[in-house]
C-alpha cells in the first residue's frame, strides 16, 4: 500500500470521483455561454467592445482600485507595469526567486536584470526583513534621489513582490521599505484575485498590480490579465501602451510612441465578465475545500499551509509541506500514479540558465521551501 494512501483516498472522496483529479479546473456556473453568444452576435469579438469596458469597471470595483486596464495575459500586463514604473534596459529589479517564470521574464523583456531576495516561510512571498537587510548592505541612495546597487552601480528601478498561491506577502512592510528607498512597487498579484491583506484587496498597495485570468486561475477569461492602479496618470499610460500607443481618433491612425498590441479581446472579456459574477461563489467553495484540508492534515506529518496573519487568502492553489525532498518525491510519485495530480513548487529562478548569474541574498528559506512544497488539487467544490 502507498505510504500516502490516506491522502489519496481523502482527495478522491472530497472531489467525489475515482477519475483523474486535476490540480485546478475552471468552474463555469453562470452566464459564460450567454455572454459569449452575445459577444459573437455583436460581431465585436476583438480589441474593442462593450465587455472589455464592463470588465475593467467591474474588476476595479471588485478590487477597490480606481482603475483597471485589461490585457491579453498577466505576463504582458507585468511587462507594461514595469515600463510605466520607469524601468529601463540595464537597470535592476528586485523580486523573489521563488516565483513563476513570468515574473522574471517580464523584467527581462525590458532588458533589466532581476535581483533575487529570499521569501518568508509563513507567506511564501518576498520577505520584508530580507529586503531591508539586502538594501541596507548593498544599496545607496544617490543625489538624484534614486537607489543604486553598490556592487554593480546600476539603479534599482522597481521591486516586484508576488502573492504566492494567493497568500498575501507582508505588503505593508515591503511598501514602507521601498518608500524609504524611493523604489516603486509592482505587485505581482496574478494568483491573488480575492485575497486581501489587513482588509484591503491585494494589488492596492503598490504603484500598480497585475492579475492573470489564465485557464488555471481562480477565474478565467481563457487567456487574460489586467493592471490595476489608483493613479490616473499610470492608468492612462497603461491603456495607451497596451493599445499600440494610438491617439484616440475616429478615423486617423496616429501613434506617438512604440506601443504594444496587449489589449484583452472582447470575446475574452465576455467570459471574464461572466466569471467575475461567479467569483464570490468560487471563493466560498475554495474556502470550504481549505477547511476540509486543514481538518484532514491536522494530525498528519504533512503540514497544510494556511493563510498568514493579517490576511485572507483566496486559496487559489492549496499547498502542503513534506518533511524533506525524499518524502516530497515519494508523495509526488504516489499521488500522480494514483490519478491525483500534484506538482512541486517552481524551481528557483536563480537556478535557471538565463538567471543563474543574477545577484541573490543566499535564498535560505526559498531553497528550504523549494525542496518541500507541493500543490494539491484545488478546484472549486460545491
Q: Tell me which residues touch ligand PLP (CB under 6 A).
A: 73-75, 78, 99-100, 102-103, 162, 188, 190-191, 212, 214, 225
Report the residue number, 21 or 98, with the smaller CB distance to ligand PLP. 98
Q: Which three cell numbers stand for residue 126?
A: 518576498
Q: How many CB atoms lie within 10 A of CB 62?
A: 16
Q: How far is the CB of 191 from ligand PLP (least distance, A)?
A: 5
User: 82: Cβ–Cβ under 8 A, 6 or more apart, which residues?
Assistant: 93, 106, 107, 109, 110, 112, 158, 160, 186
CA distances from 98 to 35, 173, 307, 320 (A): 37, 19, 18, 16
CB of 154 within 8 A of CB of 113?
Answer: yes
Minimum CB separation of residue 369 from ligand PLP in Å reads: 15
Report which residue's Cβ sits closest to ligand PLP.
Answer: 74
Give the residue with the Cβ less far from ligand PLP, 82 or 115: 82
How does DSSP assign 62-116, residue by residue? HHT-SEEEEES-HHHHHHHHHHHTT--TT-EEEEESSS-HHHHHHHHHHT-EEEE
Give the nearer residue to ligand PLP in terms of CB position, either 166 or 327: 166
**Phi and psi dihedrals of 148, rounded to 5?**
-125, 150
Shortest approach of ligand PLP to residue 262 CB, angstroms? Answer: 11
Which residue reads 523573489 in cell numbers? 96
Q: How far is the CB of 272 from ligand PLP (least distance, A)?
A: 12
Sign of CA dihedral 351, 354, 356, 359: negative
CB 109, min distance to ligand PLP, A: 12
Nearest to 124 by CA among 353, 337, 381, 318: 318
- For the record, the C-alpha cell of 171 comes out as 505588503
Q: From the CB of 149, what's the least distance to ligand PLP, in Å?
A: 24
Which CB, 62 or 346, lies closer to ligand PLP? Answer: 346
User: CB 224 → ligand PLP: shortest distance, Å?
Assistant: 7
Task: Give 99 or 243: the residue with its C-beta nearer to ligand PLP.
Answer: 99
The smaller minimum CB distance to ligand PLP, of residues 177 and 264, is found at: 264
**All cell numbers assigned to 20:** 483523474
9 backbone dihedrals φ, ψ, rounded to 5°? -65, -40
Amino acid at each position: 500500500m502507498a505510504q500516502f494512501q490516506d491522502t489519496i483516498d481523502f482527495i478522491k472522496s472530497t472531489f467525489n470521483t475515482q477519475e483523474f483529479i486535476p490540480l485546478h479546473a475552471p468552474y463555469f456556473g453562470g452566464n459564460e455561454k450567454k455572454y459569449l453568444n452575445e459577444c459573437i452576435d455583436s460581431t465585436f469579438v476583438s480589441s474593442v467592445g462593450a465587455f472589455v469596458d464592463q470588465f475593467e469597471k467591474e474588476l476595479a470595483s471588485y478590487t477597490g482600485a480606481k482603475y483597471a486596464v485589461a490585457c491579453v495575459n498577466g505576463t504582458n500586463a507585468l511587462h507594461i507595469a514595469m515600463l510605466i514604473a520607469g524601468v529601463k534596459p540595464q537597470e535592476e529589479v528586485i523580486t523573489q526567486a521563488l516565483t513563476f517564470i513570468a515574473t522574471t521574464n517580464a523584467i527581462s523583456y525590458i532588458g533589466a536584470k532581476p535581483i533575487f531576495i529570499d521569501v518568508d516561510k509563513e507567506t511564501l512571498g518576498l520577505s520584508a526583513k530580507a529586503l531591508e537587510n539586502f538594501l541596507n548592505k548593498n544599496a545607496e541612495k544617490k543625489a538624484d534621489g534614486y537607489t543604486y546597487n553598490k556592487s554593480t552601480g546600476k539603479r534599482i528601478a522597481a521591486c516586484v513582490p508576488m502573492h504566492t498561491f494567493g497568500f498575501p506577502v507582508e505588503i505593508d512592510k515591503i511598501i514602507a521599505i521601498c518608500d524609504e528607498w524611493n523604489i516603486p512597487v509592482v505587485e505581482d498579484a496574478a494568483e491573488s484575485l480575492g485575497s486581501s491583506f489587513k482588509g484591503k484587496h491585494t494589488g492596492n498597495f503598490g504603484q500598480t498590480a497585475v492579475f492573470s485570468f489564465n485557464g488555471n486561475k481562480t477565474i478565467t477569461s481563457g487567456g487574460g490579465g489586467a493592471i490595476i492602479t489608483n493613479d490616473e496618470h499610470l492608468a492612462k499610460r497603461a491603456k495607451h501602451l497596451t493599445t499600440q500607443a494610438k491617439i484616440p481618433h475616429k478615423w486617423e491612425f496616429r501613434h506617438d510612441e512604440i506601443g504594444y498590441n496587449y489589449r484583452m479581446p472582447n470575446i475574452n472579456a465576455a467570459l471574464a465578465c461572466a466569471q467575475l459574477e461567479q467569483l464570490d461563489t468560487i471563493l466560498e467553495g475554495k474556502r470550504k475545500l481549505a477547511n476540509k484540508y486543514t481538518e484532514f492534515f491536522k494530525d498528519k506529518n504533512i503540514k497544510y499551509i494556511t493563510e498568514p496573519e493579517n490576511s485572507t487568502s483566496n486559496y487559489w492553489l492549496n499547498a502542503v509541506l513534506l518533511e524533506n525532498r525524499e518524502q516530497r518525491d515519494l508523495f509526488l510519485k504516489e499521488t500522480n500514479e494514483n490519478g491525483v495530480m500534484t506538482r512541486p513548487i517552481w524551481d528557483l529562478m536563480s537556478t535557471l540558465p538565463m538567471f543563474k548569474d543574477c545577484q541573490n541574498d543566499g535564498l535560505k528559506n526559498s531553497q528550504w521551501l523549494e525542496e518541500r512544497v507541493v500543490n494539491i488539487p484545488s478546484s472549486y467544490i460545491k
